[in-house]
A and B are shown apart, each in its own frame.
Chain A
Amino acid sequence: MDTIFPFGFPSATAFYLTLFVGTLILHVLFMNFVVAGTGWLAWASLRGQLWFAKSVSESNKLPATGTSLLADWIPSMLSGAITAGVAPLLFVQILYQKEFYSANLLLSHRWMSILPVLILGFYALYILRTGWLARRSVWVRTLTALIPFACVAFVAYSWTENHLLSTSGVDNWRRFYVEGKTWYFEPQMLARLATWGIGSIPTMCVWLGWMAHYRLVRDLPVDPSIARQLPRLALVGVGASLLCGVAYIVAAPQLTGVFVGPMALPYFVLAIVGIVLQIAGWTIAARNSSAAGGLPYSALAMASAGVLATLAGMTVCREVIRLTALGAARLEQLYSRHQAAQEVEGFWVFAFFLILNAGLIAWCFRLVRINQAAVKSHHERG
């Protein structure tokens, strides 16, 4: 525990920790789009700015706004978040089986309620795109647009609750169980949740920036307001999440030691470098956006690199907080399980299909891309 993550652990533990963190970063990339995106849609609905294209062809004809891009893409991105979430959910069971299962069981039906809530939020996102909703009163439309955000916020809260409870230790679990509680709270919870929640805004802005960029590449119209909106929103997101981060450290002062400790320090530095890159990228983007609504490629690339660095750095820091909370004695008990898991057959089959299917996924994108001419001619035919 006194070496840079994950090298201070036995090889099996380090291996699964790396897989867990790697796949979690992928999940967070999608999840951030959904968290911030549903927030944006809720805000737009409250301001009466909700309007969506009902089909890809319709959205291709009209200048894309942040709201229309979000409404168009968010159901697919939620699907992506759920799919990408399966792998870290698998590896967390290998790494911290007892901790994860105990927290699940202690929160009981409260925890399980995230599933119907997710289904409700998912369908609400699809309903937002229907003609049926467009014909309803403004109140119905507004309330429907608030549902996905409320559902996602509840799921995010529940995950934070589950995570903190899982690291809180057997004595706390016993008390929690005996008293029959189903809600868990720690003073750091809201600040932690706000740091991650508001921190999702810059990731969403990067996604939207690239979506707008590729629309312009395909000669599809983009509302010029996007080029002004995204850098501002991203910078506000970075600033606000930094403030929440400070509140988080105030609420849980032990975190300072963890962040500057030997395991997490390089990753903490990476996260800060990422924040600097994001600020620089978005500032350049704000000053150099095109009248057509495009953001400069290099600035967008810089902001994207910054988001990736911050996400990677903070995801590792998050893991180091958990490892520190569990403590060396508890972790040592887990090593033999990790070793036993690593001896199970199947890794090379997984690696083979991971590469093959990643290639096929790329091929699917290519298939759609090389048919862009058809899409365009369809668009031109109206």
Chain B
Amino acid sequence: MTYDFYPVNDFGPVMKGMAIGGLGILHVFLAQFAIGGGFVMCYLQWLLMTGRSQAARLFLDSFFKFLVLVSFVLGAITGVAMWFTSIQVSPRTIGLMVQSFHWVWATEWTFFSLEVVSGYAFYRYGKFLNDRARLTLLVIYSLAAWFSLFWINGILSWQLTPGSWIETQRAWIGFFNAGFWPSLLYRTVASVAVAALIALVVVNAIPNLERSDREQLVGHVSVLLAPMLLMPFLGLWYLLSMPADSRAWATGGSVAMTMFLTIAVGASSLIGWYSLVAFWYGRLYINGATAGLLTLLAFAATGGGEFVREGVRKPFTVRETLYSNGIHRDEVAEWRRIGMSNAAEEYPLRTNQVHASPIINQGAIVFRQQCSVCHTLGGVNAADELSRGWSDEQMRINIAQLQRTKPFMPPFAGTAEEVEALVQFLRWHQQGKPETWSLPADEIQRETLARIQAYLDQAGTEPSDMAQRNAAMRASAGLFTQKR
């Protein structure tokens, strides 16, 4: 088996998913602003050319400056940062994504280049160009920005719904997956809405603009919030395109997922309702503070949505292929046979992480390789806290049968000795990391390992199957309802 071991870094109390998730939310929001911003500007340039808004020219120049400063700097660098952070969190995942879709990424790069050139051309020379040339540049910019979404959307939605790519490994089958269109359309509408809200902030921030001009611009920009009416249908379509177990997760199976989905839906609904009321009365003025608040709500909606999109993939980062901890589905059986901790000695523990007892060291390596991508020790989602109330035997069975313990956990990829090492490591950590650590007599240990082996064999090496996962979700949702 070819398995590339990579150095694993400790993020301290911060869960690695928080690093990639936080950055991802910021980047997606900025990218949506850049994409929707193009459409907003095309629309206003068209209004200007058709004589329906003279104030649009002043707005366009102010808005585009803001867009360049935010999107071309922060958006571009956070885009590169996404790659680097993905490498830090899960090199095997990003490696698989790059290997499978590098031509899609390369194609996206050509659009990204076009977006930057047309954007800077407008930024530098827009003031001096005739209206037709301005509109042409804006249309090129908008299409380039939207196509960058088109390409990356295929890769991101593939992670959750790879479909028959799993068997064929054909890039286009993976790219045009079940989630592609609903996700693309939803994100397009979200982009326009985000950009329209930021545009409302900018309209209120432009100095020396008459109140009547502001009102006119607010009215024009608010029109672009109308497509939000489609969001419930597109969101539902996207939800239906998800695998059943992932959908169950988001709709009650997991408290965290459901809560974040509620934030996304709630925040979007608030923005939508506000816009609807504004349309209904037709004369509602949105001031800077309100626009700012609505933009924050849009950020919350983006954050909630992205959290759910990332979360419902578990236990996989690429569904049915690669687990969250970077272990391939096909590799688990082999690691069960030969054990991962010896092989992982390619990168031994750091000098300051070496402990007195060999079994604790082995447990630390198992934790590093299999758990640390989602769990910390003593920080966010801390493994020692999650297992503190368990008895030793409970801990053994729960770890050996991880995929049964929680259907969003991958199966344990190691031997019975490694399960026991992890149990001892967690217990040692829970007890304040004492300098010495004694183990039971050999005979008892042999019996313990035999029991763990039986637990492992019972659970098998496959993830909890769909029906099992769904049943577990329903049970968990029912339990949640009962508790409430």
A contact residues vs B (CB 8 Å cutoff): 56-57, 76, 79-80, 82-87, 89-91, 93-94, 97-98, 101-102, 104-106, 108-109, 111-112, 115, 118-119, 122-123, 126, 170, 173-174, 177-180, 337, 340-341, 344-347, 349-350, 353-354, 356-358, 360-361, 363-365, 367-368, 370-371, 374-375, 378
Q: How far is the CA of A104 from the CA of B109 in the complex (A)?
A: 22
Q: Tell whether, in the assembled complex, residue A368 and residue B84 are in contact, meaning their CB atoms are under 8 Å apart.
A: no
Q: How far is the CA of A119 from the CA of B349 in the complex (A)?
A: 34
Q: A364-B117, A371-B130 are in contact. Are A101 and B76 (CB under 8 A)?
A: no
Q: Which residues of B contact A98 (CB under 8 A)?
A: 4, 6
Q: A56-B125, A374-B129 are in contact. Are A346 and B107 (CB under 8 A)?
A: yes
Pick from B87, B94, B112 the residue with the most CB of A within 10 Å.
B87
Main secondary structure of the interface of B (DSSP, over half): helix
Q: How far is the CA of A320 from the CA of B4 in the complex (A)?
A: 24
Q: How far is the CA of A362 from the CA of B81 in the complex (A)?
A: 29
A-B contact pairs, 25 of them (CB 8 A): A79-B73, A83-B109, A85-B80, A86-B112, A94-B99, A94-B102, A101-B94, A105-B9, A109-B9, A111-B84, A112-B84, A115-B81, A119-B73, A119-B74, A119-B77, A123-B69, A174-B347, A345-B172, A346-B101, A358-B110, A360-B118, A364-B121, A367-B136, A368-B125, A371-B133
Q: Which residues of A contact B350 (CB under 8 A)?
A: 177-180
A183 to chain B, nearest CB (A): 15
Q: Which residues of B contact A358 (CB under 8 A)?
A: 110
A184 to chain B, nearest CB (A): 13
A69 to chain B, nearest CB (A): 13
Q: A84-B113, A106-B7, A357-B110 are in contact. Are A101 and B129 (CB under 8 A)?
A: no
CB-CB nearest 7 A-B residue pairs: A346-B103, A345-B171, A357-B110, A101-B91, A375-B128, A105-B7, A357-B114
Q: Which residues of A contact B118 (CB under 8 A)?
A: 360-361, 364
Q: Tell whether, in the assembled complex, residue B88 and residue A104 are in contact, meaning their CB atoms are under 8 Å apart.
A: yes
Q: How far is the CA of A363 from the CA of B133 in the complex (A)?
A: 11
Q: Which residues of A contact B9 (CB under 8 A)?
A: 105, 108-109
Q: How far is the CA of A209 from the CA of B401 in the complex (A)?
A: 68
Q: Tell whether, in the assembled complex, residue B98 and residue A56 are in contact, meaning their CB atoms are under 8 Å apart.
A: no
Q: How far is the CA of A287 from the CA of B76 in the complex (A)?
A: 43
**Apart from the given pairs A90-B109, A112-B88, 15 other A-B contacts in the complex at a CB distance below 8 Å:** A57-B128, A90-B98, A93-B98, A98-B6, A101-B95, A104-B91, A108-B9, A109-B9, A123-B73, A344-B171, A345-B171, A349-B103, A350-B110, A357-B144, A365-B117
Residue from B76, B105, B172 in contact with A90 in the complex, judged by beta carbons closer than 8 Å: B105
Pick from B81, B88, B109 the residue with the most CB of A within 10 Å.
B109
Q: Which residues of B contact A178 (CB under 8 A)?
A: 347-351
Q: How far is the CA of A350 from the CA of B403 in the complex (A)?
A: 40
Q: Tell whether, in the assembled complex, residue A360 and residue B140 are in contact, meaning their CB atoms are under 8 Å apart.
A: yes
Q: Which residues of B contact A363 (CB under 8 A)?
A: 140
B279 to chain A, nearest CB (A): 36
A326 to chain B, nearest CB (A): 15
B157 to chain A, nearest CB (A): 16
Q: Which residues of B contact A173 (CB under 8 A)?
A: 7, 347
8 A Cβ contacts from B321-348 to A: 346-348
B339 to chain A, nearest CB (A): 19
B contact residues vs A (CB 8 Å cutoff): 4, 6-9, 69, 72-74, 76-78, 80-81, 83-85, 87-88, 91, 94-95, 98-107, 109-114, 116-118, 120-121, 124-125, 127-130, 133, 136-137, 140, 144, 170-172, 346-352
Q: Which residues of A contact B4 (CB under 8 A)?
A: 97-98
Q: Which residues of A contact B6 (CB under 8 A)?
A: 98, 101-102, 105
Q: Which residues of B contact A102 (CB under 8 A)?
A: 6-7
Q: How far is the CA of A104 from the CA of B90 in the complex (A)?
A: 12
A12 to chain B, nearest CB (A): 12
B99 to chain A, nearest CB (A): 6
A242 to chain B, nearest CB (A): 33
Q: Which residues of A contact B140 (CB under 8 A)?
A: 360, 363-364
B69 to chain A, nearest CB (A): 6
Q: Which residues of B contact A108 (CB under 8 A)?
A: 9, 88
Q: Tell whether, in the assembled complex, residue B125 and residue A337 are in contact, meaning their CB atoms are under 8 Å apart.
A: no
Q: Which residues of B contact A374 (CB under 8 A)?
A: 128-130
Q: A86-B112, A178-B348, A344-B99 are in contact. Are A126 and B128 (CB under 8 A)?
A: no
Pick from B72, B85, B112, B118 the residue with the most CB of A within 10 Å.
B72
Q: How far is the CA of A103 from the CA of B191 in the complex (A)?
A: 36
B162 to chain A, nearest CB (A): 14
Q: Tell whether, in the assembled complex, residue B120 and residue A87 are in contact, meaning their CB atoms are under 8 Å apart.
A: no
Chain B: CB-nearest residue to A176: B7
Chain B: CB-nearest residue to A26: B113
Q: Which residues of A contact B137 (CB under 8 A)?
A: 364, 367
Q: How far is the CA of A361 from the CA of B6 in the complex (A)?
A: 40
Q: How far is the CA of A123 from the CA of B73 in the complex (A)?
A: 8
Q: Which residues of B contact A340 (CB under 8 A)?
A: 99
Chain B: CB-nearest residue to A84: B113
B389 to chain A, nearest CB (A): 33
Q: How far is the CA of A27 from the CA of B438 in the complex (A)?
A: 58
Q: How far is the CA of A44 from the CA of B120 in the complex (A)?
A: 26
